[in-house]
Amino acid sequence: MVAKVKDIVSLLPPDYTGELLPSIREEFVKSDKTIIVLDDDPTGTQTCYDVTVLTSWSVALITKELTKKPSILFILTNSRSMSGKAAVQLTTEIGQNLKEAVELSGREIVVISRSDSTLRGHFPVEVDAISMALHIENAVWILVPAFIEGGRLTIDDVHYLVEHEELVPVADTPFARDTVFGYTHSNLKAWVEEKTNGRVKAEEVISISLEDIRLGGPQGVSGKLRKCSPGKICIVNACNYRDLEVFAMGVILAENAGQKFLYRSSASFVPIRAGMAAGRLYIPEKEITAATNGSLVVVGSHVPKTSSQLQYLLTQGEHQSIEVNVPQLLTSDDFSDYAAAIIHRTDQWIASGKDVVIHTSRKLEVGKDADGSLQINALVSSFLVSIIKGLTARPMFIVAKGGITSSDLATKGLLAEKALILGQVIPGVPVWRLDHKSKFPEILFVVFPGNVGDERALAQVCNLVEG
């Protein structure tokens, strides 16, 4: 059922009063911990700035970063592109390496499993794998999908998407019909039961309500959290930053009292847990605005919002367009000549100062089952990676549209081991500077989630980064 945002919000208790971020920051710094974000898709960096992202996870690399005592450290797993079994194996490996790095560095950590704000991802198996690898099976699981920047709100335990000033239950959106991660419930308690195949019943899930947050404040939230039994799952209602701040302060108080937590959250909660304001805007640098080569946009996402943004970009007539014919890829035993032709054209255009957009054909090709669809995604992504690996002309900057696309292009195509998050070019769209070891050293790389922005957003991002 769709309802007007203003009608629902008007019935809620007033926001909790008082500034909380400074107090959260003070408590967080006092704890001397690093927040480790295991990100199943690189779009989770969309609320942070001056934070490092690791795209590989050797014990030595994690240990080196932890010794710098960062507030937040991302590890990009890209597990949303994998089967459940592969995701568990990868998460277990990372968890074991992380545990060893913690012991070597002496740095305490808070672990957040960052996932999609529309509830797509390998839940609960990834969180199970983390808890076992880190030997924190008794931790209370905290589920916080609210993503304020993207209009994802949780009210009365129901998760909503805001569209045209209306609240749409997420189970009524195209995201719920995802061929791999689909679901039927918008109520988070029922969603947990659905995703755990009944292992956890809806009535067993604990809820931190907006009444708890806005009327009880941090102390009220803390009191409720301290009563949670080991291994319980607790969902969090929130529809603005202040709600998340109150919860963050409450959870810190509960931790100080000895309670242990493991988080599954959207991007909004990550900086707030460290007492940091979200969303610093990225300002283009002089070397970008003075560059003579053209830029490159690669579009892999198929969600309707991405397709409308691509269509708008193409109507502006400022980009040379190359469409990748996905059905042709699926029926070909060898697409090296096809890739070589695209690489040649792209190199010529970029070197001559022309902007290029490479995009997959817009009809979504699906497999017979979830694994079949993942295999198609992997094949298409592998083709896009081969194009990036083959380029010789350095683009002015690269925009990657879609989570799996951006992850594979950064790690497999550009061979980046780590990156620095510079800020958001528009809300929800982060800009990375890749490391000096990448294919194009220190190139600007824009991670553009498939479901963020209006139809003009892709064109707007290209114009803003170019300055």
Q: Measured between alpha carbons, how far is 153 from 161 in angstroms, rounded to an integer?
A: 7
Q: With the CA atoms of 248, 251, 252 and 254 taken in that order, what torsion angle do they form, in degrees rounded to the nearest 10?
A: 160
Q: Specify whether the CB–CB gap between 209 and 243 falls below 8 A.
A: no
Write down the pLDDT at residue 286.
66
CA angle 405, 407, 411 (to 5 degrees): 120
Q: Specify whether the CB–CB gap between 219 and 250 falls below 8 A.
A: yes
Nearest to 90 by CA among 29, 40, 33: 40
- Give the Å distances, CA to CA, from 215 to 177, 239, 256, 341: 36, 15, 22, 62
Contacts of 360 (CB under 8 A, 6+ apart): 299, 300, 302, 323, 324, 326, 380, 384
Q: Measured between alpha carbons, how far is 243 from 212 in angstroms, rounded to an integer?
A: 10
Q: Specify whether the CB–CB gap between 356 and 293 falls below 8 A.
A: no
Q: Measured between alpha carbons, how far is 401 from 360 in angstroms, rounded to an integer?
A: 11
Place of tokens 């050293």: 441
Q: Is 60 exposed, middle or buried (0-12, 13-18, 19+ CB in 10 A)?
A: exposed
Amino acid occupying residue 275: G
Q: Measured between alpha carbons, how far is 313 from 299 in angstroms, rounded to an integer?
A: 11
- Please spell the DSSP secondary structure of 212-242, one letter per residue: HHHHHHHHHHHHHHHTPPTT-EEEE-BSSHH
3-state secondary structure of 117: coil
Contacts of 322 (CB under 8 A, 6+ apart): 342, 345, 346, 356, 357, 358, 359
Residue 180 has which token pair? 């791999």
Write down the pLDDT at residue 289.
54
pLDDT tens, per residue, the chain with 467 residues:
678 888 898 899 999 998 899 999 999 999 999 999 999 988 888 889 999 999 999 999 999 999 999 999 999 998 988 899 999 999 999 999 999 999 999 999 999 999 999 999 999 999 999 999 999 999 999 999 999 988 999 999 999 999 889 999 999 998 999 888 999 999 999 999 999 999 999 999 999 999 999 999 999 999 999 999 999 999 999 999 999 999 999 999 999 999 999 999 999 999 999 999 877 788 877 666 557 899 999 998 877 888 999 999 999 989 999 999 888 888 887 888 999 999 999 999 999 999 999 999 878 777 778 888 878 888 888 999 999 999 999 999 999 998 888 989 999 999 999 999 999 999 889 999 999 999 999 999 999 988 788 899 999 999 999 87
> Which one-letter DSSP state was computed for residue 261?
E
pTM of the model: 0.89
3-state secondary structure of 122: coil
Nearest to 118 by CA among 219, 204, 191: 191
Q: Specify whether the CB–CB gap between 127 and 112 falls below 8 A.
A: no
3-state secondary structure of 113: strand
Strand partners, 34: 109
